Amino acid sequence: MKQSIHVVVWNEYRHERRSEEIAKIYPKGIHGAIADYLRTLPGMNVRTATLDEPEHGLTEEVLAETDVLIWWGHMAHGEVSDTVVDRVQASVLNGMGLIVLHSAHFSKIFKRLMGTTCNLKWREANERERLWVVDPSHPIAEGLGEYIEIPHAEMYGERFDIPQPDQLVFISWFQGGEVFRSGCCFYRGRGKIFYFRPGHETIPIYHQPDVLRVIGNAVRWAALPHGPTPTFGNVKPLEEF
């Protein structure tokens, strides 16, 4: 039996190194803030990886021992190598969980796995957001109230150009009137994917306890056992006939 869930928190880690204001919010980077939280949970073995490391810190060896990969990116999606994207996609299809945060809706890996543009409406006006739990029995909603309120958020609005999610956990309302599918589950191959909207770099959203709780819940959900490894191709019959 597996002792712990192996998580990698990946961040492009550019905003925090270029802006003092952002570095003050995330002195150890966005990946550092999320990793620090996950390390407080039982049964989590947490490491981080960033864009500027060799192979973006996502070598074959690292991915082979990763149960769940968390992905945050914004300004440097185009710098992620296609080789690493191919590798992460193969890992997801083979059972690795993937949690895609906020502006990573435009990451190469999310677009690859969705097959759509993943485009959306947006506005930076520091407005209130409420993420309503629309699937209260879902493990990702464990321990939450009926909604999560974020006092100052960047707005993301529909239409969000993704395939119909396999499960929808949250729908966001924004003060300006838009709504958004802000917690979306997808199954791809043997892997599970969760897209979670909150997380703009200039707002301390990854210090908010209920937002962090969702990320921790999502790690557990995405890491759950995947059952037998299927085989493919031409086969002999199991019975004589």
Q: Which residues bind Zn ion (CB under 5 A)?
A: 103, 154, 200
In the complex with Zn ion, which residue's Cβ is closer, 72 or 186?
Answer: 72
In the complex with Zn ion, which residue's Cβ is closer, 81 or 175?
Answer: 175
Sheet containing strand 167-174, edge to edge, reads 44-50, 5-11, 68-72, 97-101, 191-196, 179-188, 167-174, 121-133, 147-157
**Minimum distance from CB of 202 to Zn ion (Å)?**
8
| Packing angle, helices 209-223 and 29-38, rounded to 10 | 70
Element (H, E) at 55: none
**Minimum distance from CB of 35 to Zn ion (Å)?**
20
**∠ CA 177-178-183, rounded to 5°:** 135
In angstroms, the CA 141 to CA 173 distance is 17
**Minimum distance from CB of 61 to Zn ion (Å)?**
32
**Minimum distance from CB of 120 to Zn ion (Å)?**
11
In the complex with Zn ion, which residue's Cβ is closer, 103 or 107?
Answer: 103
In angstroms, the CA 89 to CA 207 distance is 29
In the complex with Zn ion, which residue's Cβ is closer, 52 or 124?
Answer: 124
Name the DSSP letter for residue 112: H
Tokens 């707005």 correspond to: 155
In angstroms, the CA 69 to CA 100 distance is 9
C-alpha 152 chain-centroid distance: 21
In the complex with Zn ion, which residue's Cβ is closer, 103 or 217?
Answer: 103
Name the DSSP letter for residue 1: -
In the complex with Zn ion, which residue's Cβ is closer, 106 or 173?
Answer: 106
Residue nearest to Zn ion (CB): 200
In the complex with Zn ion, which residue's Cβ is closer, 129 or 154?
Answer: 154
**Minimum distance from CB of 206 to Zn ion (Å)?**
12
**Minimum distance from CB of 11 to Zn ion (Å)?**
14
Tokens 């677009």 correspond to: 111
**Minimum distance from CB of 208 to Zn ion (Å)?**
15
